[in-house]
Structure 1
Amino acid sequence: MGEFRPVPDVLAYLAGSWHVERSVRDRAGGDEGRFDGITRFSPLKRSGLLHEESGTFVWLGVARPAERTLRFLPGPTPGTADVRFADGRPFHDLDLTSGRHVADHPCSADLYRGEFTVRDADHWRTVWRVAGPAKDLLLTTDYARVG
């Protein structure tokens, strides 16, 4: 993808509901899974957004409900975000002022590297590559604004 859409304020851009389609591929074993659901970015009381994702994850033919919660807080510079897990631990930074951002998150001996790209006002994508002794995964998520 060569064209990215700059986003002057990531929190304003993300606010609202998004349909989510995620493919998960185990590059070591070849297994593949899929998540389909909704992500809602709603205002937090003080500032920032609460990210609540829920849907169905299918792995090895078995469908299960899945959900996660993150907090997107204002970042160190205007228009950026500091992404945190629900318990407050740091996850990654997010700066989409150029329309594209790469972030790393070390997790034990594994490294998560995320690439975020904005396609247009209503579509964005994340690609996480997870590599290390315990994992070799590729997670590609497409978001489409609802409504």
Structure 2
Amino acid sequence: MDGEFWPVPDVLEHLVGRWRVERHVRDLTSGDEGRFEGVVHFTRLTRGALLHEESGTFTWRGVARPATRTLRFLPGPTPGTADVRFADGRPFHELDLGSGRYVAEHPCAADLYRGEFTVRDADHWRTVWRVGGPAKDLLLTTDYVREG
């Protein structure tokens, strides 16, 4: 399986730019499905950090709404890695794509977010988040394609 992943020696350098985003959201309990379509811009900040700004349309149960998300990708504990933070500075997860694949976990109140990041080539990567808890059982699959 490792042959399917594309190693990324420097996550922050690799992500800079604009990516088209398609996210499929599935509630594993109810069977409801939703979709997010939009773009994410990774722009440089000071000290090698990146600002992740995502915007688009999220459709759930037939209702389309604008949706946005902002994260900060800071230089990680070892060269080439990232320390991903929410917009308010709270820690989210680390990210190391040196092998082209990484698994992260983020506890959030009673829920656990488990994310798998995989890179297919220089212009395509994917995240799969499984969110589980007392009131949640979700699967979020996001595909990123580099634009120009």
User: 5+ residue gaps in structure 2?
Assistant: none
TM-score by length of 1: 0.98
Q: Which runs of 5 or more structure 1 residues have no equivalent in the other structure? A: none
Distance in 1 (alpha carbons) for counterparts of 2:13 and 2:62: 37
| Paired residue type of 1:109 | A
**What is the match of residue 12 of structure 2?**
11
Q: Is the contact between residue 52 and residue 72 of structure 2 (CA under 8 Å) also seen in structure 1?
A: yes
**Which structure has more helix as a fraction of its residues?**
2
1:1-147 map, 5 Å = 3-147=4-148
8 Å contact kept, 2:12–2:48: no
Q: Deviations over 1:79-112 (max 9, x none)?
A: 0000000000000000000000000000001100
List structure 1 segments (4+ residues) > 4 angstroms apart after TM superposition: none
Aligned-partner Cα distance in 2 for 1:70–1:124: 17
Give the count of matched residue pairs. Answer: 147
1:49 positional shift: 0.2
- Residue identity over aligned pairs, in percent, reads 79
RMSD: 0.8
TM-score, normalization by structure 2? 0.97
Whether the aligned pair in 1 keeps the contact of 2:37 and 2:57 (CA below 8 Å) is: yes
Q: Distance in 1 between matches of 2:131 and 2:101?
A: 19
Following the alignment from structure 1 to structure 2, what is the Cα–Cα distance between the partners of residues 92 and 30? 28
